[in-house]
Structure 1
Amino acid sequence: MFITYEEALSWIHATRTFGEKPGLKRMEWMSSQLDHPERKFKSIHIAGTNGKGSTLAFLRDMFEANGQIVGTYTSPYIEMFNERISVNGDPISDDEILRLANAVYPLTIELEKTTLGGPSEFEIITMMMLIYFGEGHADIVLIEVGIGGSYDSTNIITPVVSIITTIGLDHMNLLGDTLSEIAANKAGVIKASVPVVIGKIEKEALKEIEEKATEQDSLLLKYNQDFFVTKWQTLPTWGEQFVFEDDFIRLSPIQIGMLGRHQVENAAVAIEALRVYSHEIGLAVNHEKLLSGLKHTFWPGRMEKINDQPLLILDGAHNEHAMKTLVETIKKNFAQQEVYIIMAAMRDKDIQGMVDQLQGITNSHLILTSFDYPRAAGIEDLNKVMLENGTVTNYWQEALVESLNEMDENGVLIVTGSLYFISEVREYFKTADK
């Protein structure tokens, strides 16, 4: 058993290598020993390649504005480990992490003695989350899938509503080489007779989701078919404005403080999921409060503006699909400005694909760099990338100084790539502001 929070955290992080066999058997075994905590709360399950965190944030703020106590389970964390399990946006305490780790620890010892083997870090944290919310700390719990869907440790829940935000090529070593294979895995979150809300998804991937929904007799609600966004425009003050409608409601005008067409789509998915959830459980929703919640939604590291002059933005576009979206946002919003981009990524990502997207921006200066993380792409990896117009720099701090020295006050500096990288840079600026 653990005496301190630090001991508990060290143990959680040290379990990374265990539980590498896919499947839900370890989660089901642990859950059965604890009288199934996942059955004791209402939830919305959020899967997808990109957009999960932002969709969750929109949902959290709409529910909270309507008086609900909202639990969330997210990854990775940006500032502190505890934020992975939060209530109304506030991370649970160190004492709670210690208590929950001590509750899960004996189960892991027993599990290691079985043929199933010990659990992974993510399975342990997921079990901690299920125990916590099974105790009744929230009215609604928003649960973000870790990777995929079918075999993700969160998939032992039966939510009130399931969400699939987007499908792109990511985690291909685990999920498959094609969009349809990845979609089939993510569609594993669809449960019998549980409604599913989906974002903008390509035809090849959509086919898999439609087949799974039909097989599970689940109502499938699609962006641009069952719910719509119209009159979209970018606000001069930073953010977007649009109108939302489906067969039941029309909301106008909606304003969000997050930049990019993709955030409009994420917000639309969140609104539709909230409407379906409230219908399923009989929750009265005030539309004015809903609009207020959306307006104030913030999600760190997603087109996050941290300085005005020069304009400095952090965006965790950590795969090719997300990078394509970032490039579209840059081209739309910063076409008249010089754009400086600093990117660091994980070694297992399609770095060339990400760089190719960025090289499509004509008014840009690109610097590839590394950061202090075991899975980060190092300088050797980056030197193999075909760069038409860009440089490789050993340390991101150097890249930052170099870019800030070169750019004028009208320039834009975007730091992008891995969310772990964004977290490190964000912490640097936060410390510098003190």
Structure 2
Amino acid sequence: MTLKTYEEALQWVEEQAPFGIKPGLSRVEHLLAKLGSPERRLKSVHIAGTNGKGSTAEFMRASLTEAGIVTGTFTSPYIVDFRERIAVDKDPISKQAFLEIANQLKPLADELQESSLGHPTSFELVTVIAIKYFASYAFPDIVIWETGLGGRLDCTNVVSPMISLITNVGSDHAAILGEEKIDRAYEKAGIIKSGVPVATAEEDPEVLTLIRETAKNNRTKTYELGQDFHIEAEAGNERFSYYSIYPFGTKKDLTLGLKGGYQQKNAALAMAALDYLKMMYALPIEEEHIRIGLTRAQWPARLEVVQEHPLIILDGAHNKEGVDALASYISQQYKDKQIHLILCCTSEKDPEQVFASLMDFPLSSLKFTTFEGYRAPSSEEVKGKAMTIGAQPVEDVFEAINATKAQAEPADLILITGSLYFISTVRTTFM
């Protein structure tokens, strides 16, 4: 049956969500082969890591765009519109293109369902749609790909990049990627390919050893934060300087469009990749392009201020490492404010573990709520999760926001954080 509208096409893709997570490349490789292997026509950068993938991609995208290099991005999840996951210079895929590609893909997916490979997942379908769009419709100069989960068996690993990036290795998705950090590092290092260098901002010695060994086995080179490139932050503000092994790499007195000191590492990783692309591929990326790009980088739901009085900040910190970085920033920038928290994590996560560092604040109010979606906590889960952190359970997210706003004084801070799916719902209230 032909899909008649974008809305029908999107519904068809999202209906595959119950097929869940199926690590492996075979289904995507099969679909791409049927479409004429469009991934072979793309010049790509591939990013894996627990946190910072979106910010690193945005720092790169903004700098490349400033240099006049048309840049595609594949990111997840979305915050405002599903189509923003597939974009060129921040312009999302058109509804018509999405519909056309979905109609090309649907009979192939139906055929695949009858085979031993089984039905493709929602993420696999979106990945194939993105590849086909970039290769046959939009024709960007470069595409920056974010992994969805892990790396080695993530379906984005079908691309052949010019350089691979690993931001860091944290605790997220331990049930799938491995309980031990080194096991999760192994999965993320799986994006390293023969002859393709890898740059990383990871600083754990054990993880770095694994990345180096993987690169060596693939006869390629690593570029490491603290060794091949490094940063020096200025005390008391968010300005910093970047130093690189490349003679043209050093850039002093930099500022970022994204808040938080932790963004400096993401920006440094992006600059290391840009250095490499300039050196090895002669891309016309000048220092001024990067300086301006870093300041113009914008990523929704990263310390995003959506109201001033009381101050309301949204942040998609959805794992322990992200929340720890958020808590550090809040303690430095807003230590004199009364703080109200509204939290939510997906149903499979433990809020006591994820939000531990925020529980150290002297809170004026604390609420745990939910959102709509297949990974959202149920009513019973909201009550149970709220109890573990001593929060008030509120089943309606908008009720939680309104009640907190009524409690807060104009000088207070309301921090809303947790799952990006949750933040996407919250953001509609303020936009």
TM-score, scaled to structure 1: 0.94
- 1:403, 1:324 → 2: CA distance? 23
Q: Distance in 2 between matches of 1:21 and 1:287?
A: 42
Alignment of 1:182-261 (within 5 A): 182-233=184-235, 235=237, 240-248=238-246, 249-261=249-261
Shift in Å at residue 173 of structure 1?
2.2
- Distance (whole Å) between structure 1 residues aligned to residue 375 and residue 245 of structure 2: 46
Distance 1:120 1:294, change over 3 A: same
Q: Gaps (5+ residues) in structure 1?
A: none
Q: Distance in 2 between matches of 1:20 and 1:313?
A: 31
Q: Structure 2 matches for 1:344-383, cutoff 5 A?
A: 344-362=344-362, 365-383=365-383
Q: 1:387 to 1:12 in 2, by over 3 A?
A: closer
C-alpha distance in 1 between matches for 2:97 and 2:413: 41
Tell me which residue corresponds to 1:149: 151
Distance, in Å, in 2 between the alignment partners of 1:304 and 1:187 is: 31
- Residue identity opposite 1:148 in structure 2: G
Instruction: Name the CA distance, whole Å, in 1 between partners of 2:20 and 2:424.
Output: 27
Residues 351 and 388 of structure 2 are in contact (CA less than 8 Å); yes or no, is this contact kept in structure 1?
A: no
Q: Give the superposition deviation at 1:278.
A: 2.0
AA aligned to 2:268 is: A
- CA separation in 1, counterparts of 2:172 and 2:302? 18
C-alpha separation between the residues in 2 aligned to 1:392 and 1:15?
Answer: 31
Question: 1:87, CA displacement in angstroms?
Answer: 0.7
Show the counterpart of 1:342: 342
Amino acid at match of 2:88: V
Task: State the distance in 2 between where 1:171 and 1:198 align.
Answer: 20
Task: Please say if residues 352 and 389 of structure 2, whose CA atoms lie closer than 8 Å, have aligned partners that are also in contact.
Answer: no
Cα displacement (A) at 1:402: 2.6
Query: Partner letter of residue 407 of structure 1?
Result: A
Q: Which moved more, 1:96-105 or 1:202-211?
A: 202-211
- Alpha-carbon distance in 1 for matches of 2:370, 2:326: 20
User: How much identity, in percent, do the aligned residues show?
Assistant: 37
Q: 1:263 offset after TM fit, Å?
A: 0.9
Q: What code does the residue aligned with 1:44 have?
A: V
- Unpaired stretches in structure 2, ≥5 consecutive residues: none
- 1:84-123 C-alpha deviation (Å, 9 max, x unpaired): 1101001011101101101211221222232111211111
Task: Provide the secondary structure at the position in 2 that maps to 1:17.
Answer: helix
CA distance in 1, matches of 2:57, 2:239: 19
> In the alignment, is the contact (CA less than 8 A) between 1:227 and 1:246 conserved in 2?
yes
2:403 pairs with 1:405: no
Distance in 1 (CA, whole Å) between partners of 2:369 and 2:18 is: 27
Distance 1:32 1:388, change over 3 A: closer
2:83 is paired with a residue of what secondary structure?
A: helix
> 1:387 offset after TM fit, Å?
4.7
Amino acid at match of 1:245: Y
Give, in angstroms, the shift of residue 19 of structure 1: 7.4
Shift of 1:234: 5.8
Q: What residue is the counterpart of 1:6 in the other structure?
A: 7
SS at match of 1:130: helix
Aligned residues: 426
TM-score, normalising length: structure 2: 0.94
Deviation at 1:157, TM superposition (A): 0.7
Residue of structure 2 in register with 1:50 after alignment: 51
Give the partner amino acid of 2:217: E
Shift of the 331–29 alpha-carbon distance from structure 1 to 2, 3 Å rule, reads: same
Cross-structure match for 2:60:
59
Give the superposition deviation at 1:279.
1.7
Shift of 1:176: 0.8
- For the structure 1 residues 74 and 179, does the alpha-carbon distance in structure 2 shift closer, same or farther, using more than 3 Å as the test? same
The answer (yes or no) to whether the contact 2:341–2:363 under 8 Å persists in 1 is no
Contact 1:72 1:84 in 2 (8 A): yes
How far apart in 2 are the matches of 1:296 and 1:355? 30
Match of 1:375, SS state, is coil
**Distance in 2 between residues matched to 1:213 and 1:362, nearest whole Å:** 46
Does structure 2 retain, via aligned residues, the 8 Å contact 1:19–1:118? no
The verdict on how the C-alpha distance between 1:234 and 1:272 changes in structure 2, with shifts beyond 3 A counting, is: farther
Tell me which moved more, 63-72 or 9-18. Answer: 9-18
Greater Cα shift, 363-372 or 312-321: 363-372
